[in-house]
């Protein structure tokens, strides 16, 4: 469909500004993208507001609560072979998620190169990395719960630490889990050759948009929760 659209569009001349004006004033479409991609971008904009407001809410209760905020480098420390490594687990989780963005980008690339098998394979890699991220998150939740942290209480200080942590990482983990399912469904369609018949691998890229967004959100959660 994308090819078809660009085919019946007037050629754009001189520069980015000119093309911006052409796009917005054109009849039929404001952006030179397919419907699915436009919708995904708009959805992600809306979802950005959800995550931003969750993080703003977390910052607000962190400021208003009278109890001390726990020292995050201690809370999130991982003991390996008798040594305490601050932020070790979270560094691994972040590394996994960033890597999965890389494999996703390669899947998109192979998709557009019409390489069915490699595209599906790299989507599968991405999904496995995403699933292991969720697994490590479950491990971290267990660790915190064993330390006595609950949504309603926290032996190390403000109870809002537990509330905000479980709510926001839970909501993000839900996004990753949905993303894993989404990737597997699209990967299956890739393998079946649905997109070869439809003539466009764009759905792979759209799934990629969602996946990169979830990664990007994680960077902010990481910064606001673990580093501050």
Partner 1 sequence: MAYVPSADAHAHGEPQSFVTKYIWSQDHKVIAIQYSLTAIAVGIVALVLSGLMRIQLGMPETDLVDASAYYQFMTLHGMIMVVYLLTALFLGGFGNYLIPLMVGARDMVFPYVNMLSYWFYLLSVLVLMASFFVPGGPTGAGWTLYPPQAITGGTPGAGWGILTMLVSLAIFIVAATMGGLNYVTTVLQARTRGMTLMRMPLTVWGIFIASIMALLAFPALFVAAVMMILDATLGTSFFMPAIIAMGREMPHEGGSPLLFQHLFWFFGHPEVYIVALPAFGLVSDLISTHARKNIFGYHMMVWAIVAIGVLSFFVWAHHMYVSGMNLSFGFFFAISTLVIAVPTAIKVYNWILTLWQADIHLTVPMLFAMGFIVTFVVGGLTGLFLGNVVVDIPLADTYFVVAHFHMVMGVAPILVVFGALYHWFPKVTGRMMNDTLGQLHFWITFLGTYIIFFPMHYLGIMGMPRRYYAYEDYEFIPQSAHDLNTFITYAALVVGAAQVLFLFNLFWSALHGRPSGGNPWRATSLEWQTPDTPPKHGNWGEKLPEVHRWAYDYNVPGVEQDFIPQTEPQPESGHSAGEERT
| Residue with smaller CB distance to partner 1, 30 or 113 | 30
Min CB(47)–partner 1 separation in Å: 8
Give the span between the Cα atoms of 104 and 129, in whole angstroms. 10
In the complex with partner 1, the residue whose CB is nearer, 33 or 128, is 33
Distance CA 106, CA 185 (A): 18
Query: What is the nearest approach in angstroms of partner 1 to the Cβ of residue 177?
Result: 17
C-alpha–C-alpha distance, residues 154 and 147, integer Å? 9
Identity of the residue, 11 or 25, whose beta carbon is nearer to partner 1 in the bound complex: 25
Q: Please, what is the minimum distance in Å from the beta carbon of residue 151 to partner 1?
A: 5
Of 7 and 81, the one with the shorter C-beta distance to partner 1 is 7
- Dihedral (Cα; 45, 46, 52, 53), 10-degree rounding: 160
- Minimal distance in Å, beta carbon 97 to partner 1? 23
Question: 159-188 as b/e, with b when 16 or more CB fall inside 10 Å?
Answer: bbbbbbbbebbeebbebbeebbebbbebbe
**In the bound complex, what is the minimum distance in angstroms from residue 80's beta carbon to partner 1?**
32
- One DSSP character per residue, 96-160 reads HHHHHHHHHHHHHHHHHTT-HHHHHHHHHHHHHHHHHHHHHHHHHHHHHHHTT--SS--TTS-HH
- For partner 1, give the closer residue by CB, 89 or 206: 206
Distance from C-alpha of 2 to C-alpha of 200, rounded to nearest angstrom: 8
Q: Where are the beta strands (DSSP E) in the chain?
A: 78-80, 83-85
* Residue among 8 and 146 whose Cβ is closer to partner 1: 8
Rounded Cα distance, 181 and 168, in Å:
20
Nearer to partner 1, 101 or 163 (CB): 163
Q: By the criterion CB under 8 A, which residues form the site for partner 1?
A: 1, 4-5, 8, 24-31, 33, 35-36, 38-39, 42-43, 45-47, 49-50, 53-54, 57, 60-61, 64-67, 151-152, 158-160, 162-164, 167, 171
Residues in the chain: 228
CB of 52 to partner 1, least distance (A): 8
- Residue 27 Cβ vs partner 1, minimum distance, rounded to whole Å: 5
């Amino acid at each position: 469909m994308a090819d078809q659209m660009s085919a019946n569009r007037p050629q754009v001349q001189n520069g980015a500004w000119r093309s911006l004006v052409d796009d917005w004033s054109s009849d039929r479409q404001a952006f030179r993208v397919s419907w699915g991609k436009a919708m995904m971008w708009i959805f992600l904009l809306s979802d950005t507001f959800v995550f931003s407001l969750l993080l703003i809410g977390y910052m607000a209760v962190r400021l208003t609560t009278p109890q001390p905020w726990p020292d995050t480098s201690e809370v999130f420390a991982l003991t390996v072979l008798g040594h305490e490594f601050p932020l070790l687990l979270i560094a691994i989780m972040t590394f996994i998620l960033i890597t999965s963005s890389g494999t996703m980008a390669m899947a998109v690339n192979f998709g557009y190169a019409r390489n069915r098998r490699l595209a599906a394979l790299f989507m599968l890699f991405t999904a496995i990395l995403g699933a292991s991220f969720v697994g490590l998150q479950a491990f971290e939740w267990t660790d915190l719960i064993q330390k006595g942290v609950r949504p309603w209480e926290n032996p190390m200080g403000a109870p809002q630490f537990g509330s905000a942590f479980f709510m926001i990482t839970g909501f993000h983990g839900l996004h990753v889990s949905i993303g894993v399912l989404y990737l597997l469904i699209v990967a299956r369609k890739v393998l079946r050759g649905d997109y070869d018949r439809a003539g466009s691998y764009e759905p792979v890229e759209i799934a990629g948009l969602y996946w990169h967004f979830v990664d990007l959100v994680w960077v902010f959660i990481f910064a606001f929760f673990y580093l501050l």
